[in-house]
Amino acid sequence: MAARARVVLGAVAALVAVLGIDRLLALRHWSVPAEALLDEPAHLLTAGLLLAAAGVRSRRLVLWALAGAVLIDLDHVPLYLGAEVTADGGRPVSHSVTTVLVLLVAAGVWRAQRTRLAGLALGVVLHVVRDLASGPGVPLLWPLLPTSAHLPYPVYAGVLVAAVGVVALRAWRGPRRDDGYAPARLRPTSRRARR
């Protein structure tokens, strides 16, 4: 029972932290490094909360998704150095579905790196969820539509609240055998056992 309570408290803490960070970001204009120090943890917390709500159990996939949720912001470096890498003056064009598709195609082709690349793609998606509701939006459908897409912040906050609810529900009901999860000792170990 205590483990379930810790899971729910962790999800609630992530939600409170993200909302607090966003409130702090809204209080004033921050320098780029200061804003990054605040925003990147919020990206990690958003990704972690949504991964928990989705029930992702693969440790490797979670780690690569969390990495992807923050590494995508390296695409801002050329922007700060003066290169024009945006579609409409907002975020770089790599903050788009195109990046996700490229990573997924690479995952399909490069089997040895499938989990890493799929995790990075998932991380980019989770990053974009937050960016849709903050700042200048995201060139989501670049190069088809170069304009940025936006969502109202309350929609993003609502998604996070719903994610906490899903985490709490999963914790309350406990592991289920019909959701594809089976402890290692219950899995067949040989071909003969599978027949």
Report how far apart, in Å, the C-alpha atoms of 158 and of each of 52, 60, 163 are: 16, 28, 8
181 confidence band (pLDDT: 50, 70, 90): very low
Spans of all domains in the chain: 2-173
Between CA 13 and CA 164 the distance in angstroms is 10
Q: Which two tokens stand for residue 116?
A: 């890493």
Q: What is the pTM (predicted TM-score) of this model?
A: 0.86
Residues 123-166: tens digit of each pLDDT: 999 999 999 999 888 999 998 988 999 999 999 999 999 999 99
